[in-house]
Amino acid sequence: MRTTVLCTAIVLLGSVAWAAPEQLVPAGGFVPTKLPFTYILDYNDGDYFSGSYERHHVEGPPGLLHMGTVTPAHSYFGPAHDSAAAQGKRAFPPIGTFVQQYRDRLAEAQRLNDQLRQQGVGQVVAYVCLMTTGGDPDKRTGFWHFYDNWEAFTPLGAGPKPADDPVLWQQRKPDGSEHHFYTKEHYLPMFFRYSNCVNNPNWQQYMKWVIRGAAEARFDGVFVDNAGSERCYCKCCQAGFEQHLRSRYTAAELEELFGDDLSLSTDGKGLRSAETRIFWGESIHRFLDMIRDEGTRLRGHFTVFPNGLQGHPLDVEGMFRDADLGMAENSVGTYGTNPGRTRSHVIAGIYVSHTNDNIFAHQISAACGAPCRCAMLTRPGYPKADTAWRMNEPTAELGIAEAAAFSGGGCFLHDAPRSYPDLAPARTKYNAFFAAHKSWYEGYWPGGSVGALTMLSQTLTGDRRHVAAAQSLLETLLAAQVPADPVVERELLTDLSRYPVLIVPPVLNLPDAWVKKLSDYARAGGRLIISQADTTASLDHLGRPRDPAAAAAFRKLGTPLPDDPLELLGPQGPLAGTALTDPARAEALRTAVYVDNPTKPRRVTLHLVNYDVMLGVKGGQIGARQDMPIRLHVPGNRRVRKLTLASPGGADQTIAFKQAGSSVSFTLPRLDIYAICLLELEG
Amino acid sequence: MQAATLLLLFRHLHFFVIVSDLPQPPRLHLETKQYYTYTDPLRLTAFSQQGDRLLSTAIPVGSSLDRLLPEPVAPLYLVQADPGMNGAVFQCDRPWAVLGSANHRMGVNGLGPELFFYVPLDCTGFTLGAQSVSPNEGGRLVITRPDGEQAAVLDGELDREEETKVTVPTACRDAIWSLKWDKPQTSKAGLDDLNFWLDGNLTPLLFPQREWAEKHGKLLWERDRAARAEQ
């Protein structure tokens, strides 16, 4: 067994010394909103090749079908895995049997994918894992059985057999021992679970072959599970990290900020820890790029869909930024996590309502303007499903509507039709609606009345309060019927003048570039509301103290942000009169506003989502609203030429309106679950 | 604000009932307290007695909230306060009680005020339950009858849910009882996070002042009993 590890595959900017980055995550071109779509996840490995699997997707075919481990070469175990043989219950079949299985699986997957598309399924993606292999290196089972017989698959595109045993591809702890995600014993009694390093060229070689097989099988892309699972200190990563730092900082900055220690951080503290996490994230980003490039060679576009957004919104503008989708697994909630409401008696005849929503995760993907959008998974309870909170059709519809309104091109997971055949009508309805209203969805920018600075990278530098404060601020404003959007780091280079008001919640690390951008915004007439906490903007993004006078001067540019954001909406508050409608009459309404151009909008869309949809098997009741007065701020004092209302399942209708200055008033005749208003502006 | 010597510091979601007989709406004051590195804000929602949502806001941990509930004035309000993994202290300029039922358990941190509750005429007994899940943490809960006698004690590490039955003598019915807690006496464990609840034929609304319980406890019990009968 060789111990040499090749590390040449880490492609960085060499050792060119640049000035320190303006912020810790990249800014970038803003990708406006995309068309949302319906989505099914169906892990049903035993049925895919039954010859009749496609019958499940005749009614309500999804825009995206997400299947399980269906690539010709199994993502985890390789193409030569036999479960019974791995457990010693029988001898391994001859290797030729596995080679034929690979060919058969490829042919059947091609037939199945062609058939699914004929039925109206949009894209089909297969499951792979960022880092997992399973097997026993001593008994030579699982992935090792494939490795020992690698050459048999070389004619199928596997390439030359790597010299290093797969044990050497694994992620390492700082002491050099193996790093296992989950546990090493996860697959017992069959064999062990291993976690490969994405920077290992041999693992990359294997994954490229898996991806080529997926593309050849006519999958449109892959779902990449466990896509944040890189915590490696192997030699590849140690060398790569030093290159990473040298590509981002000058020699003088390295000396100032890191001393003479350019090794991966093990203490989770300070800028070196932040850069360590960024390095691992960028390693994953390159790995996902590699997957996309490999698939694209055969398929044109190849969708890359990593899992790992839940609790990690930064990844939308970080390591997943160039993926097509990122999954957020929102699993844990008192009433499950499916969107909708419950109403329950608490005490003394007083009832309370509880609303589940996933607005913030969706909003982040629209606000980032990265290609990546949010795919939301919800559950009726976790780890054990509570059948009482099983998804009903109206909540399935609400989930699609929520994604359409807030994610700028994301989607909402429906479970397999085999278990949930009742959800198909919701998909049918929304498939038709999206297809008929493409121009209402594609090419827009978030354009609420308020932007709330949401510096997602604060989680890297240790200020975890900031994002929580921004999220709760946004929740409060939306509940008060003020359309409000997060404004994230990636917008550093974009024009924020579309927001009449920007709010800066408490934020510890604020890059100089953002201090300047926000100061320029205020000087140009924008209204800033800033947390006056002494710590706000007291450090730059590299953790260096800012001159206290400069930080104080920045804070003075804004109206003080009160602890209770509702004070902003009081009669004398800076947001007085910005509510779209009376929150007391629309407590379950949430809205999003978009503009087709950040500086000179011609079209404005207002998405209205009614969360008054009762959850669970006894639920499904919709608290429709009628004759709701709406007042919307139109950017740029432009005159509205026409206002059209559309809702799924209904005919589009022109709505009468009044305009006074930048304020447009009209009455929404009826809102069931979802509606969009399109305002076409003059000029 | 009431002049309680000890304030009620709670974690996770709690419900508070406010009784108001003044022409102005009640004023709430909540202070947040951060635990460890948790970032959860304090989410607060106020409901009318009809269950209509009156206000909904969230404040960052480390800050405080001080505001009037919105007009119109109502005789009864329900406030849902959820600091998540962090803590909060609830105060109000009107009589109030916190709900400590088996379904909505009290989750306090450290010492707090003695709490008072109404035991109805037809209540022959109820259950006191408690749990303190963390290692080396525990508690001592004492229920005191209107005649000053100790009716029940739960004392120890309380790593698992523990419950004790409380018998209600005839002479102690239709009267105000009390509950207080401290560090355990039968264990070296300290007092930190402690959950407890009351269950049985009573309304487990716990008032931080005896006179509030005397004035409003019975009325709320009657209202609660009527609502349950309708369900």
Q: Express each pLDDT in A535-549 by its tens digit.
A: 999 999 999 999 999
User: A450-569, what's its fold?
Assistant: Rossmann fold (3.40.50)
H or E element, residue B127: strand B125-131
Cis amide leading into A189 (omega within 30): yes
* Backbone φ and ψ of B180, nearest 5°: -140, 165
Output the CA angle A84-A90-A96, nearest 5 degrees. Answer: 85
Question: Which residues of chain B make contact with A563, given a CB cutoff of 8 A?
Answer: 59-60, 63-65
- Residue ranges, comma separated, of all CATH 3.40.50.880 domains in chain A are 450-569
pLDDT at A496 over 50: yes
Sheet harboring A64-67: ordered strands across? A303-306, A221-225, A123-129, A64-67, A39-42, A411-414, A373-378, A325-330
Q: Is A261 on the interface with B (CB under 8 A)?
A: no
Task: Report all structural domains of chain B as residue ranges with CATH numbers, in order of start.
Answer: 6-94 (2.60.120.380), 100-208 (2.60.120.380)
* Backbone φ and ψ of A64, nearest 5°: -140, 125
Say whether B51 and A505 touch across the interface (CB within 8 A).
no
Helix locations, A95-234, DSSP H = 95-118, 143-148, 201-216
* Backbone φ and ψ of B166, nearest 5°: -115, 120
Say whether A347 and B80 touch across the interface (CB within 8 A).
no
What is the pLDDT, as a whole number, of residue A17?
A: 52
From B39, B55, B64, residue closest to A468, measured CB to CB: B39
From A350, A563, A584, residue closest to B59, measured CB to CB: A563
CA dist., res. B48 & res. A42, Å (int) = 44
What is the pLDDT, as a whole number, of residue A7?
A: 55
CA dist., res. A407 & res. A415, Å (int) = 20
Query: Percent of chain A scored above 70 by pLDDT?
Result: 97
Tell the burial category of B85 from Cβ atoms under 10 Å away from its Cβ (0-12, 13-18, 19+).
middle
What is the pLDDT, as a whole number, of residue A554?
A: 97
Return the amino acid letter for A133. Answer: T
CA dist., res. A568 & res. A401, Å (int) = 29
Number of CB atoms found within 10 A of residue A221's CB: 27
Say whether A347 and B39 touch across the interface (CB within 8 A).
no
Question: Which residues of chain A make contact with B224, given a CB cutoff of 8 A?
Answer: 347-349
**Strands in A237-366 per DSSP E:** 303-306, 325-330, 340-347, 350-356
pLDDT at A45 over 60: yes
Q: Is A512 on the interface with B (CB under 8 A)?
A: no
pLDDT at A12 over 70: no
Say whether B51 and A350 touch across the interface (CB within 8 A).
yes
Say whether B49 and A349 touch across the interface (CB within 8 A).
yes
Q: Is the backbone of residue A380 left (phi > 0), alpha (psi -120 to 50) or beta?
A: alpha
Say whether B78 and A346 touch across the interface (CB within 8 A).
yes
Cis amide leading into A383 (omega within 30): yes
* Residue closest to A351 by CA, chosen among B120, B77, B102, B70: B77
Say whether A345 and B231 touch across the interface (CB within 8 A).
yes
Rounded to a whole number of angstroms, the CA Rg of chain A reads 26
Say whether A476 and B57 touch across the interface (CB within 8 A).
yes
Report whether B32 contacts B87 (CB < 8 A).
yes
Nearest chain A CA: its distance from B186 CA (Å) = 35
Paired residues of B190 in beta bridges: B137
Average pLDDT, chain B: 94
H or E element, residue A282: helix A270-299
Taking an 8 Å Cβ-Cβ cutoff, which residues of chain B contact chain A? 15, 17, 37, 39-41, 43, 45, 47, 49, 51-67, 76, 78, 80, 99, 101, 104, 203, 205, 220, 223-224, 226-228, 231
Question: Which residues of chain A make contact with B12, given a CB cutoff of 8 A?
Answer: none
Question: Which residues of chain B make contact with A480, given a CB cutoff of 8 A?
Answer: 56
Query: Percent of chain B scored above 90 by pLDDT?
Result: 84
CA dist., res. A329 & res. A379, Å (int) = 9
Report pLDDT digits (tens) over A355-404: 999 999 999 999 999 999 999 999 998 888 888 999 999 999 999 999 99
Nearest chain B CA: its distance from A530 CA (Å) = 14
pLDDT at B163 over 50: yes
Helix (H, G, I), strand (E, B) or coil at A231: coil
Q: Is A524 on the interface with B (CB under 8 A)?
A: no
Q: In the Cβ-directed half-sphere of A201, how many Cα atoms lie within 13 Å?
A: 17
Nearest chain B CA: its distance from A180 CA (Å) = 26
Q: Chain B: residue nearest A568 by CA?
A: B57
Confidence of residue A2 (pLDDT cuts 50, 70, 90): very low
Helix (H, G, I), strand (E, B) or coil at A471: helix
What is the pLDDT, as a whole number, of residue A334?
A: 83
Helix (H, G, I), strand (E, B) or coil at A372: coil
Q: Which residues contact A534 (CB under 8 A, 6 or more apart)?
A: none
* Residue closest to A137 by CA, chosen among A100, A95, A167, A179: A167
Nearest chain B CA: its distance from A472 CA (Å) = 6
Positive/negative CA dihedral, A37, A43, A45, A51? negative
H or E element, residue A362: helix A359-368
From B43, B57, B227, residue closest to A566, measured CB to CB: B57
Return the amino acid letter for A78. Answer: G
Positive/negative CA dihedral, A86, A90, A91, A96? negative
Report whether B98 contacts B159 (CB < 8 A).
no
Question: Which residues of chain A make contact with B226, given a CB cutoff of 8 A?
Answer: 349
Q: At what angle do helices A393-406 and A424-436 cross, to 10 degrees?
A: 30
Q: Which residues contact A606 (CB under 8 A, 6 or more apart)?
A: A483, A580, A591, A592, A593, A630, A632, A676, A677, A679
Q: In the Cβ-directed half-sphere of A443, how many Cα atoms lie within 13 Å?
A: 9
Number of CB atoms found within 10 A of residue A560's CB: 13
Does A580-681 carry CATH code 3.40.50.970?
Answer: no
pLDDT at B166 over 70: yes
What is the pLDDT, as a whole number, of residue A18?
A: 60
| Residues in chain A, overall count | 683
Q: Is A571 on the interface with B (CB under 8 A)?
A: no
Report whether A367 contacts A454 (CB < 8 A).
yes
What is the pLDDT, as a whole number, of residue B4?
A: 46
Nearest chain A CA: its distance from B223 CA (Å) = 5
Nearest chain A CA: its distance from B135 CA (Å) = 24
Say whether A476 and B78 touch across the interface (CB within 8 A).
no
* Residue closest to A244 by CA, chosen among A266, A230, A262: A262
Helix (H, G, I), strand (E, B) or coil at A521: helix
Report pLDDT digits (tens) over A152-180: 999 999 999 999 999 999 999 999 999 99
Tell the burial category of A85 from Cβ atoms under 10 Å away from its Cβ (0-12, 13-18, 19+).
middle
Q: Is A115 on the interface with B (CB under 8 A)?
A: no
Report pLDDT digits (tens) over A203-245: 999 999 999 999 999 999 999 999 999 999 999 999 999 999 9
Question: Which residues of chain B make contact with A470, given a CB cutoff of 8 A?
Answer: none
Return the amino acid letter for A521. Answer: Y
Report whether A641 contacts A602 (CB < 8 A).
no
Positive/negative CA dihedral, A277, A281, A286, A287? positive
Q: Is A565 on the interface with B (CB under 8 A)?
A: yes
Number of CB atoms found within 10 A of residue A233's CB: 22
What is the pLDDT, as a whole number, of residue A243?
A: 96
CA dist., res. A363 & res. A448, Å (int) = 11
- Residue ranges, comma separated, of all CATH 2.60.40.1180 domains in chain A are 580-681
Q: Is A452 on the interface with B (CB under 8 A)?
A: no
A630-636 average pLDDT score = 89
Q: In the Cβ-directed half-sphere of A560, how many Cα atoms lie within 13 Å?
A: 8
Average pLDDT, chain A: 94
Q: Is A579 on the interface with B (CB under 8 A)?
A: no
Report pLDDT digits (tens) over A565-615: 999 999 999 999 999 999 988 989 999 999 999 989 999 999 999 999 999
Confidence of residue A13 (pLDDT cuts 50, 70, 90): very low
Report pLDDT digits (tens) over A309-358: 998 999 999 999 999 999 999 988 888 999 999 988 999 999 998 899 99
Say whether B49 and A347 touch across the interface (CB within 8 A).
no
Say whether A348 and B205 touch across the interface (CB within 8 A).
yes
pLDDT at B227 over 80: yes
Helix (H, G, I), strand (E, B) or coil at A400: helix
Q: Is A567 on the interface with B (CB under 8 A)?
A: yes
What is the pLDDT, as a whole number, of residue A4?
A: 44
Quickly tell me which residue has 């406030």 as its tokens.
B79
Return the amino acid letter for A506. Answer: P
Q: Is A505 on the interface with B (CB under 8 A)?
A: yes
Tokens of A264: 């991966």
CA dist., res. A516 & res. A136, Å (int) = 56
Report whether A7 contacts A236 (CB < 8 A).
yes
From B37, B53, B227, residue closest to A353, measured CB to CB: B53
Say whether A472 and B58 touch across the interface (CB within 8 A).
yes
Residue B139 DSSP one-character state: E
Say whether B51 and A565 touch across the interface (CB within 8 A).
no
Tokens of A594: 């978009």
CA–chain centroid gap for A7, Å, is: 30
Which of A314, A350, A482 best probes binding to B when mutated, by most B CB atoms within 10 angstroms?
A350
